[in-house]
Chain A
Amino acid sequence: MTDRPHLAVIGAGPAGLAASLAAAARGIRVTLIDSGSAAGGQFYRGPAPGLGARRPQALHHQWHTWDRLARGLAGHVRAGRIEHLTDHHVWCVERQSGRFAVHALLGPEQERPATVHAEAVLLATGGYEKVLPFPGWTLPGVVTAGGAQAMLKGSLVVPGRTAVVAGTGPLLLPVATGLAAAGVDVAALVESADPNAFWRATRDPNPLPPRTRDPKAFLRRTRALAAQPGKVAEGAQYAAQLVRHRVKVMARHTLVEAHGEARLEAVTIAALDSDGRARPGTERRIACDTLAVGHGMLPHTDLAESLGCRIDGLNVHVDEEQRTDVPGVWAAGETTGIGGSALSLAEGHIAGRSVAARLAGAEPDPREWAAVAKSRTRMREFFAALDTVYAPPAHWTEQVTDDTVVCRCEEVTGGEIRRAVGELGAGDVRTVKLLTRAGMGWCQGRMCEPAVAGLAGCAQTSARRLLARPVPLGVLAAAGEDPDEPRGPDDPEGD
């Protein structure tokens, strides 16, 4: 058992699961490491076992796929081919002369350390939600769309009785239908994009959405959309559910403000003009105690950055086999670019096969996964097309008033950031950070970075965070003293 080549997979979402199963089935010893107390990641997050859900699939899509993955995992775990470490928060992966040390902190309090050693590492850490600021977005009752979904799926709770779901992106659909099915009155789904542009694009290549200037690129995208009947059907399902729950869908509308004192009481939304500006006089106030808001997703790249992997824009760079440019390190799923669970599964599957071949000292034969690679290509094109349809309103920064908090942790306002840019000449996120402390708090800029970049008028780049998690100083000191330590009491390598 222990003389088999060993792969450490970080992240037990669709990508990490698919990779673990593919590698384990081909003779690789896998340690699957995740901060969650159960496998599944974001898409397959299930209710905690203590809640005794007898019909968890009521909150899920593609339950059959999950069922298959969960059975596969259980089988490999029983057979000793996969070890699944739950509640392990990985804060750093270190290269140690051709091998890797994966450093984690145990439990929700994240204090006890543990280290896993392996010959290869797969980063499948997924992503987190992007939310652009607007006045009132720090009020209790305002949550991220994915956060509302995570609390609902995992703990079977909702934050209030009446919700508005707003922002942009495909994630708003499952969130609105999930909340409605769970008994929340969803007063409106406010989407800043024009999703009709998406449906039109699948049928009629002539009208160009305002932001697409290159007709050739657009035609390519149209073909990509048309090649995704499954996705179109999924969208139609959501649409039917929205109708059934009488959710009013307001496209090309945007959030202007969230109102309340101690908690959310109402939101103001407005129609967007063709330039992507809130059109004066169209403001409308909707009473609600919950606002689920999101503007797309961002990949988790901290671990890749600390390993020195190349990052393209915001995504971990991978080749056809899902290898990063650091030998021995693979990446799959949303850490390599946002694209939903089906794409994550495809990437994970390819990565697992590639690892299995390479760790056995063989050159993999890509023909073996040709079908999966083809659907990977199609899905990547599909999500690139979605990206052009679902984009935040072009002039969202105009909603950020000078007293709007932008950095939630350090309470840095829009005005302070504008002063740093205008009067003090800061031209990038790093300088704004040094001058204002925006991004220096607990979350290390994960929440405010897109907004700070937008207000500073520069592109968001990956942040180069040294550590993926806050680490107690004692653990850090011990790790510095001897890279082979710390080996915690639950060290999985101690077998």
Chain B
Amino acid sequence: MNPLELVRAQPGPGFTVTLDGRDIEALPGQTVAAALWTAGVTSWRSTRGAGRPRGVFCGIGVCFDCLVTVNDRPNQRACLVPVRPGDTIRTQEGTGHDD
């Protein structure tokens, strides 16, 4: 059983986005964070100080741990931003303004 089966989901057609240039599949309605989790990715930024990996923590937009660069805009909260066909997602280093 997976969550999609549990609720008998019939998602709309999936689409492709890229994470650091690599193709990943996403479903309509998912957030960027959800698409990354589905692809088995749980960290997508490294911290400013110690360069430690981070991903989702609070899941509701409060903690800012899940920051990511989406379509060249850094510091987007992956747990809030819906994923859209063709999105270019990049892991984010430090403040996100270096690249």
CB neighbors of B among A33-62 (8 A): 35, 37, 42, 47-56, 58-59
**Residue pair B58, A58 in contact (C-beta under 8 Å):** no
> Is the CB of B80 closer than 8 A to any CB of chain A?
yes
**Residue pair A109, B31 in contact (C-beta under 8 Å):** no
Other-chain contact of A183, B6, B31, B43 (Cβ < 8 Å): B6
| Residue of B1, B3, B8 with most partner-chain A CB within 10 A | B3
**Residue pair A144, B57 in contact (C-beta under 8 Å):** yes
Known interface pairs A50-B12, A51-B9; A443-B28 also in contact (CB < 8 Å): no
**Residue pair A262, B29 in contact (C-beta under 8 Å):** no
> Is the CB of B24 closer than 8 A to any CB of chain A?
no
CB neighbors of B among A131-179 (8 A): 138-144, 146-152, 154-160
**Residue pair A159, B6 in contact (C-beta under 8 Å):** no
**Residue pair B62, A443 in contact (C-beta under 8 Å):** yes
Among residues of A, the one whose C-beta sits closest to the C-beta of B42 is A140
Chain A, interface size category, equals 35 or more
**Residue pair A147, B60 in contact (C-beta under 8 Å):** yes
> Is the CB of B86 closer than 8 A to any CB of chain A?
no
**Residue pair B60, A156 in contact (C-beta under 8 Å):** no
Bound together, the chains give a CA A139 to CA B77 distance in angstroms of 18
Bound together, the chains give a CA A442 to CA B82 distance in angstroms of 21
**Residue pair A183, B53 in contact (C-beta under 8 Å):** no
Which residues of chain B have C-beta atoms less than 8 A from A51's C-beta?
4, 7, 9, 11-12, 27-30
CB neighbors of A among B39-80 (8 A): 42-43, 47-50, 52-65, 67, 73, 76-77, 79-80
Other-chain contact of A151, B6, B37, B43 (Cβ < 8 Å): B37
**B interface with A by C-beta (< 8 Å):** 1-12, 27-31, 33-34, 37-38, 42-43, 47-50, 52-65, 67, 73, 76-77, 79-82
**A interface with B by C-beta (< 8 Å):** 35, 37, 42, 47-56, 58-59, 108-109, 128-129, 138-144, 146-152, 154-160, 181-183, 262-263, 408-411, 441-443, 446-447
